[in-house]
């Protein structure tokens, strides 16, 4: 199955502009945690390490819904976005 991943803000800086939007072929029923392993292998291990040790704070949004569960199962054509917290005043 295919998933599309978009990196915003600091996440984009880490993975590089050329990988800010990627489409990956993954196993059916892959979880968010398993996807992070694929991202580490095919996109940026540095990004995954920083995300998991929380040196960058991001919200994971799957198909427009914030997801805070590494066991969340993705579906074909899921759109996953790594978004920094909003700031302003």
Q: How many domains does the chain have?
A: 1
Range of the domain at 42: 2-83
Residue 34: the pLDDT is: 98
In a domain, 12, yes or no: yes
Residue 87: the pLDDT is: 65
pLDDT above 70 covers a percentage of the chain that reads 97
- The tokens for 22 are 């990627």
- pLDDT tens-digit series, residues 45-59: 999 999 999 999 999
In a domain, 77, yes or no: yes
Residue 88: the pLDDT is: 60
CATH code at position 10: 3.10.20.30
* pTM for this prediction: 0.92
CA distance 58 to 7: 10
In a domain, 88, yes or no: no
């Amino acid at each position: 199955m295919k998933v599309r991943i978009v990196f915003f803000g600091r996440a984009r800086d880490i993975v590089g502009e050329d990988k800010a939007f990627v489409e990956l072929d993954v196993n059916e029923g892959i979880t968010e945690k398993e996807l992070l392993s694929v991202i580490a292998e095919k996109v940026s291990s540095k990004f995954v390490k920083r995300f998991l040790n929380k040196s960058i704070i991001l919200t994971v949004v799957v198909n427009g819904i914030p997801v805070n569960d590494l066991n969340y199962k993705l579906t074909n054509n899921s759109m996953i976005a790594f978004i920094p917290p909003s700031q302003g005043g």
